[in-house]
Amino acid sequence: MAKILLVEDNEMNRDMLSRRLNRHGFTVVIAPDGESGVAMAASEVPDIVLMDMSLPVVDGWEATRRIKADPRTSAIPVIALTAHAMASDEQRAREVGCDDYDTKPIELPRLLEKIQRLLPAAPGLR
């Protein structure tokens, strides 16, 4: 079963998305801000990170930079989740190290497709 680290500060968004991902068979661990998201990426070693970009303490842009700069977590795929929907926002997300980008509100089938595409090919994770 694949483990997803959801880094999201909005409690309603966290609750809704984590329940929906659980129903699709994923284990979801949650961080409410960028700083704890970076720490949990190292301690939990998730298969993928869903990163809100507008976060307290450390924003998602900087949290992604830190995850990708750490050799222990650099290979973990990160999908940016953001309400910033301009092409320049996607470019910025990719420049800080995000492997993919998705806009809010979340369209679950589209996000699931991106998650499945980025998950490691290890047996049992798909």
- pTM of the shown model: 0.92
With a cut of 50, say whether residue 125 has pLDDT above it. Answer: no
Longest pairwise C-alpha distance within the chain? 36
- Report angle CA 77, 114, 26 to the nearest 5 degrees: 75
Instruction: Report the distance separating Cα 26 and Cα 59, nearest Å.
Output: 25
> pLDDT at position 121, please?
52
- Reported as a single tens digit per residue, the pLDDT across 85-106 is 788 889 999 999 999 999 999 9
Beta strands in the chain (DSSP E): 3-7, 27-31, 48-52, 78-82, 100-103
With a cut of 90, say whether residue 1 has pLDDT above it. Answer: no
- Reported as a single tens digit per residue, the pLDDT across 21-33 is 999 999 999 999 9
